[in-house]
Amino acid sequence: MTLLEIRDLRVTFGRRRDPFVAVDGVSLDVGAEETVGLVGESGSGKTTVARCVAGLQRPDAGTVTFEGRPLERVGRRPAELQRAVQMVFQDPRSSLNPRMSIAAIIGEAWRTHPSTAPDGDRTAALHALLADVGMDADVADRRPGDLSGGQCQRVSIARALAVRPRLLVCDEAVSALDVSVQAQILRLLVDLRRTHHLAMLFISHDLGVVHQIADRVAVMRSGQIVEEGPATEVLAAPKHEYTRALLDAALDLDDAGPAVTA
């Protein structure tokens, strides 16, 4: 069943007479509990698509619907849809308020969506949520500045989970993390996807990571999707020349090293 439906999305920036077309007629579906990878280089429009889905950007044309209901801008979106779609950003430090404790950050999410707030013991619910993202209860009183980048990203994910979303939009969610920490967060996302029955729109420039976790992949270039299909097909046997060019440029650990000069 289709959860998210993007149809003929178009976003332009700049002057009306000479607009920059960031998204140029994008259509894309994400099924329930499905992970769709959106790849492309900088400026391809992938983040703008994500921002439209999250309601942070108003499209010039086209529609975004969630189970058939239109996803409008944040503020005009019914609370129920607002919470169903949550976003995880690239830089966990700048997406968490440095002056708030972790408990307050999660509490704010519950205050924004009271229907998801725990009925009974909030502290117990908070600790359970932190445990879900692999963190000890004692981080509740700390602030983002006391935590490592990986821990901050866990908090971002906990904040998203707090309101029981159906779709997680991850925009380069592991790109800013150390290599050894990246693997932890990927594992966490994959585990949560199963336990919380989440669908994911996973945006990344890292084709290897996308290949690991996406069911389907869409490749964007200059605001358009040039190729879309099952991850194993698109990334192992690409049909579009741009996808091939991207794959050719991508490095693999197994690629032959340099010629040894002597």
Partner 1 sequence: MSDVRTARTGGAPVAQHEALLQVDGLTVDLPGTRGDVRVVDGVSFDVPAGTTVGLIGESGSGKTMTANAIIGLLPDGARTGGRLLWRGEDLLHADGARRRKARGHEISMIFQDPLAALNPTQRIGRQVGEILRRDGVGRAEVRRRVVELLDRAGVPDPAERANRYPHEFSGGLRQRAMIALALAGSPSLLLADEPTTALDVTVQARILTLLQTIQQDEGLSVLLVSHDLRVVANVASEVVVMYAGRVAERGPAPVVLRRPAHPYTKALVRSVPAVRTKTALADPLPGAPATPANRPAGCPFHPRCPIARDRCRTEVPAVREVAPGRAAACHFAEEVLAP
Contact residues toward partner 1 (CB under 8 A) are 41-42, 148-151, 178-184, 186-187, 190, 205-209, 211-213, 231-232, 235-236, 245-258, 260-262
Beta carbon of residue 176, minimum distance to partner 1 (angstroms, whole number): 10
- What is the pairing mode between strands 199-204 and 167-171? parallel
Helix (H, G, I), strand (E, B) or coil at 188: helix
Both tokens of 126, joined, read: 């908070």
Nearer to partner 1, 118 or 149 (CB): 149
Q: Which is nearer to partner 1, 100 or 186 (CB)?
A: 186
Return the number of the residue (107 or 150) whose C-beta is nearest partner 1.
150
Helices (H), the chain: 46-54, 79-84, 102-112, 122-132, 149-162, 179-195, 207-213, 231-236, 241-249
CB of 2 to partner 1, least distance (A): 24
Q: Which is nearer to partner 1, 122 or 211 (CB)?
A: 211
Buried b (16+ CB within 10 A) or exposed e, 163-198: bebbbbbbbbbbebbeeebbebbbebbeebbeeeeb
Q: How far is the CB of 202 from partner 1 (least distance, A)?
A: 13
3-state secondary structure of 219: strand
What is the Cα–Cα distance from 24 to 20, expressed in whole angstroms? 10
Q: Are 166 and 2 spatial neighbours (Cβ–Cβ below 8 Å)?
A: no
Nearest distance from residue 196's CB to partner 1, in Å? 17
Least distance in Å: CB of 210 to partner 1? 9
Quick one: 112 or 184, whose CB is closer to partner 1? 184
Smallest distance from the beta carbon of 35 to partner 1, in angstroms? 13
Closest CA to 206 of 173, 237, 238, 234: 173
The smaller minimum CB distance to partner 1, of residues 160 and 174, is found at 174
